[in-house]
Amino acid sequence: MKRKLIAGNWKMNGNAAANESLVRAVLAGMGDAACTVAVCVPAPYLAQVQALRAGTALELGAQDVSEHAQGAYTGEVSADMLREFGVRYVIVGHSERRQYHAESDAVVAEKVKAALAAGITPIVCVGETLAQREEGRTSAIVKRQMAAVIHTNGHCISEIAVAYEPVWAIGTGRTATPEQAQEVHAVLRAQLKAATEHADRVLILYGGSMNAANAVSLLAQPDIDGGLIGGASLKAPDFLQIIAAAR
Ligand code: PGA
């Protein structure tokens, strides 16, 4: 059995005091978790959370990375900079970045490459909007998003993690059913299999209103290898229940 990954995506939430109590509560409750646990925190708090998690099994993640290595890119953060703060995972191509920051499939693919070059595992987000689902284009959309990443990263593709996040389920309280999610995860797995003989080791997470109540049935699906958790990762008891469901 593959070890599942439960990654919290704090988005643009938190402050020094709140972060400290949240991380302490997660650490106190996670014990000997059967899954890998990570929190993807806003960049200014990487150092704080790096110190809080030192010597524990809690992994540190970031929410974005520049596709460039260095230079005149005001406001950007490079993969090497993330690496210096002990970052092991970085979310790439979240739908909020695709939507509000106009990140194209090509840019997402370059960011994945930058993360991999620094030894950081990119959590590549793909997902369809409600309109695209209703038009029956879900598979085509996620395959197009993934194809760009595969094309740019070649055989390194087995080193990524993927998060299927239907846009209509993010922060809405509307979750894909386990069957809906599994169907898309299977499409992604098949696409990865065509690109690498190691596709089975790629973790494909589900994200979008995952919570303590629906986590067990989602995580029971054969191709769901974990979760990318937004809102519920900000409340330690909820996040801990999802962690406990991932075995
Ligand atoms: P949510 O967010 O759990 O709040 O729906 C998930 C995500 O956007 O990664």
Could you give the 3-state DSSP secondary structure of residue 21?
A: helix
Rounded to whole angstroms, the Cα distance separating 56 from 26 reads: 11
165 touches ligand 1 (CB under 6 Å): yes
Q: pTM, whole model, 2 decimals? A: 0.98
Residue 157 tokens, joined:
């593709």
Identify the domain containing residue 18 by its residue range.
Answer: 5-65+75-245
> How many structural domains compose the chain?
1
End-to-end CA distance of the chain: 9
Which residue puts its alpha carbon closest to atom 9 of ligand 1? 230
Atom nearest to 172 CA in ligand 1: 5
Res 196: pLDDT: 96
Give one word for 2, left, alpha or beta, with left for phi > 0 and alpha for psi -120 to 50.
beta
208 touches ligand 1 (CB under 6 Å): yes
**Tell me: the pLDDT tens digits for 21-37?**
999 999 999 999 999 99
Give yes or no: 165 in active site: yes
pLDDT > 70 in the chain, percent: 100
230 touches ligand 1 (CB under 6 Å): yes
**Tell me: the pLDDT tens digits for 78-115?**
999 999 999 999 999 999 999 999 999 999 999 999 99
The arithmetic mean of pLDDT across residues 108-128, rounded, is 98
Instruction: Confirm whether 70 is domain-assigned.
Output: no
Instruction: Confirm whether 202 is domain-assigned.
Output: yes
User: What is the 78 CA–ligand 1 centroid distance (Å)?
Assistant: 24
Instruction: Confirm whether 51 is domain-assigned.
Output: yes
List the CATH number of the domain containing 27: 3.20.20.70
If we measure between CA atoms, which residue out of 193, 192, 208, 203 comes closest to residue 246? 203
Check whether 1 has a pLDDT greater than 90: no
Rounded to whole angstroms, the Cα distance separating 114 from 96 reads: 20
Instruction: Please provide the average confidence, as pLDDT, over all residues in the chain.
Output: 97
